């Protein structure tokens, strides 16, 4: 083990470097990380002892390998870190080396920006965000674990200055055609989104893209914006901004079910704007607000109504079918990277099965929840935790259907099927009573290649759907058929897929 004081690198870079080192021949364990409390705990679990006095600003290099492999890994590490530093230097002004800006406002001024994207540990984001607002800049806060009182103060400050705060925990935005965070590759078009859900917005972008419809802007406001205390401060500002945009013909508001009083506030604001507004509230069940036109608990149905409002045809949503097993174990286990996709799938599965999921041994987990991302990259970047959970569930004889999401786009894993497809194939090879269903959230132009990802997962034995709702209904339908509600359905599905 080696400690390099003050040698900072971001967590995503270090995760990728660690993975490349661990894959080298002769290397048993490799972890390169900033010495945060969580990372020190992880190093301890790997059997490494971090020296006393090592702090979050220090880089820890821990490698366990055979002698020759150890030396080669050390040399490779220095090369990888040097390459990262050269890339950062090359991105300076006019391609020349430049002293790094010491404040957020100074960095934004160099680029003549109007939006600042912040991705620093949540407890430390407040002064950077306030610095940007003081400079007259809109702010997108990618960071999670930001104290709620600080979120409210930032949004109140933005409102007083005619600005908007996207986030905290804003994973996805598209502003003026530029994708920020986990955005998909989409064309400009007539649909604007107010998104209190990152993966919910991505699912809608991908469905609209499959229908050859693009977006004007996607303004992510953070998962807590429609909570009782935050009270829709950024959602209201985003709704007004999209209504004033002549390129926006329909506005989609996507969120987990909001606080009732805040929902009424947003609905009233939607009635006052000139642009038609459609609500997508996954997890609330379809017919999310009885008697209110244009509200859906199903993201796919919300996309379909958007197309109908625009006078565009609704396509047959893409799917890639694999044979279903002749018999299944009883349990349905959802392992998700996207929280909204998890919520939608759980709600749909509950409706299809007609019973309480947990009481019957079914479970749905969101590995993108703050509890899993504190001190480590999001599962859309680093699949380690979910792959371990997949192996555990596949080894459980009570698990009959694995339901997973795969989210493509900028910033996400450059090839998620490279790790997931072999894991699915291993799970299905060892069990003749297990099925895998995948919700693939991606567009045709995404850098990972939507068709390549779908085909790799299908070859591994998974049935793949572009629509998360369709994936959830299919997975729940397999369980229902197994329990005898439709005894022939599994065999029929298998023959159709073949």
pLDDT in tens, 356-367: 888 888 999 999
Q: What is the pLDDT of residues 223-260, one digit of tens each?
A: 999 999 999 999 999 999 999 999 999 999 999 889 99
Kindly state the tokens that stand for 82.
């040097």
SS3 402: strand
Query: Do 302 and 296 contact (CB within 8 A), yes or no?
Result: yes
pLDDT at 48: 92
Interhelix angle 11-22/67-90, nearest 10 degrees: 150
DSSP state of 122: G
**Do 105-310 and 319-497 share a fold?**
yes
Distance CA 307, CA 315 (A): 10
DSSP assignments along 245-309, one per residue? -TT-SEEEEE-SPPPHHHHHHHHHHHHHSSS-EEEE-TTS-SSSSTT-TTEES-HHHHHHHHHHH
Q: What angle do CA 175, 181, 187 make, to 5 degrees?
A: 45
Instruction: Residue 399: name the closest of 363, 355, 366 by CA.
Output: 363
Beta bridge partners of 4: 59
pLDDT value, residue 283? 75
The encoded tokens of residue 296 equal 């859906």
Indicate the domain borders of the chain.
2-93, 105-310, 319-497
Q: Which CATH class is domain 319-497?
A: alpha beta
CATH 3.40.50.261 fits 105-310, yes or no: yes
Q: How many CB atoms lie within 10 A of CB 496?
A: 10
The pLDDT tens digits for 196-207 are: 999 999 999 999
| Residue ranges, the chain, pLDDT below 70 | 12, 84-99, 284-293, 374-375, 483-498
Of how many residues is the chain composed?
A: 498
Q: Return the SS3 of 220.
A: strand
- Partnered with residue 332 across adjacent β-strands are 401
Average pLDDT, the chain: 89
Inter-CA distances, 49 with 9, 29, 61, 240, Å: 21, 14, 11, 54
Cα 334 to Cα 331: distance, rounded to the nearest angstrom: 10
Find out whether 475 and 328 touch, Cβ atoms under 8 Å: no
Residue 355: the pLDDT is 77
**330 burial level (CB within 10 Å; 0-12, 13-18, 19+):** middle
Distances (CA, A) of 482 to 24, 492, 494, 498: 44, 12, 13, 19
How would you classify the pairing of strands 295-296 and 319-320?
unpaired
């Amino acid at each position: 083990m080696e400690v390099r004081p003050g040698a900072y690198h971001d967590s995503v870079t270090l995760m990728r470097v660690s993975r490349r080192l661990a894959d080298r021949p002769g290397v048993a364990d490799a972890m390169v990380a900033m010495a945060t409390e969580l990372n020190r705990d992880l190093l301890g679990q790997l059997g490494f002892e971090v020296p006393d006095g090592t702090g979050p600003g220090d880089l820890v290099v821990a490698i366990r390998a055979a002698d020759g492999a150890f030396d080669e890994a050390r040399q490779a590490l220095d090369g990888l870190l040097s390459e990262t530093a050269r890339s950062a230097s090359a991105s300076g002004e006019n391609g020349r080396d430049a002293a790094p800006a010491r404040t957020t406002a100074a960095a934004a001024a160099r680029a003549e920006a109007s939006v600042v994207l912040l991705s620093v540990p949540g407890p430390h984001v407040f002064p950077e965000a306030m610095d940007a607002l003081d400079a007259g800049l809109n702010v997108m806060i990618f960071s999670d674990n930001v104290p709620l009182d600080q979120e409210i103060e930032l949004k109140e400050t933005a409102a007083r200055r005619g600005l908007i705060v996207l986030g905290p925990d804003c994973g996805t935005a598209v502003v003026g055609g530029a994708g920020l965070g986990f955005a998909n590759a989409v064309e400009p078009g007539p649909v604007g989104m107010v998104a209190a859900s990152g993966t919910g917005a991505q699912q809608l972008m991908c469905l609209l893209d499959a229908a050859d419809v693009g977006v004007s802007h996607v303004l992510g406001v953070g998962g807590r914006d429609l909570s009782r205390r935050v009270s829709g401060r950024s959602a209201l500002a985003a709704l007004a901004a999209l209504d004033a945009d002549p390129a926006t013909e329909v506005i989609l508001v996507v969120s987990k079910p909001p606080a009732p009083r805040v929902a009424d506030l947003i609905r009233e604001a939607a009635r006052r704007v000139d642009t038609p507004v459609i609500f997508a509230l996954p997890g609330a069940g379809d017919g999310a607000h009885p008697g209110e036109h244009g509200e859906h608990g199903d993201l796919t149905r919300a996309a379909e109504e958007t197309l109908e409002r625009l006078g565009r045809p609704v396509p047959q949503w893409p799917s890639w079918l694999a044979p279903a097993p002749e018999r299944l174990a009883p349990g349905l286990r959802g392992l998700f990277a996207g929280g909204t996709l998890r919520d939608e799938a759980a709600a749909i599965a509950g409706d299809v099965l007609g019973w309480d999921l947990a009481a019957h041994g079914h479970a749905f987990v969101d590995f993108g929840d703050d509890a899993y991302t504190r001190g480590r990259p999001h599962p859309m970047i680093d699949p380690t935790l979910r792959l371990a959970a997949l192996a555990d569930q596949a080894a459980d004889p009570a698990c009959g259907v694995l339901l997973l999401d795969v989210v493509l786009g900028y910033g996400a894993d450059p090839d998620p099927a490279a790790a997931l497809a072999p894991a699915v194939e291993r799970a299905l090879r060892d069990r003749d009573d297990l099925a895998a269903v995948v919700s693939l959230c991606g567009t045709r132009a995404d850098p990972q290649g939507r068709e390549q990802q779908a085909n790799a997962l299908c070859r591994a034995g998974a049935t793949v759907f572009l629509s998360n709702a369709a994936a959830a209904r299919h997975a729940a339908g397999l369980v229902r058929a197994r329990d005898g509600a439709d005894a022939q359905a599994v065999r029929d599905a298998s023959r159709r897929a073949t």
